[in-house]
Structure 1
């Protein structure tokens, strides 16, 4: 389960970077050169998403939860926004849901 969670985290980071860099270019007057690593990051996101062992619908469902957690980590440590108690509670609930889904996967149930 730890390996799957870490793979989801890496997948979410790649997606967030791929979306954050164009945001920096458009909204913050960043360099046009930001779009190249953004595109590469989104390509990495797709590649990482395909490495997950379960059926695509299961992967996307569990990934959505991990994306929420990663976005909150990004919000706290990259954007510097303090998380509220509700953020932490929501993150804990989401993590429980992701772990429940992943624990029920069978490699032969694709």
Structure 2
């Protein structure tokens, strides 16, 4: 696997790093991507953190409920090309959202 997006692990030890090929990328939402632990097994990665606050999320929720929320999806990729999507984001070339399609 080229990339891992961790949504449930709170530490690098709990991430299934062995499934990611050497040179692969790891991204987590729970601060589990430890640079030294990743480098030790030939990986790179980052933690993606957000601090949602009512002033930001409330208008979005209102728009979603009203059916007026617009999301600019510019790219839809199959799962086997997810690493390409991450590379586009990392390079700062993403314009709009990149969606990874898991199945038909």
**TM-score bucket of the superposed structures, by smaller chain:** under 0.3
Comparing both structures, which one devotes a greater share of its residues to strand? 2
Q: TM-score, normalization: structure 2?
A: 0.24
Q: Give the number of the structure with larger relative contact order, counting CA–CA contacts within 8 Å between residues 6 or more apart.
A: 1
> Counting helix residues as a fraction of each chain, which structure ranks higher?
1
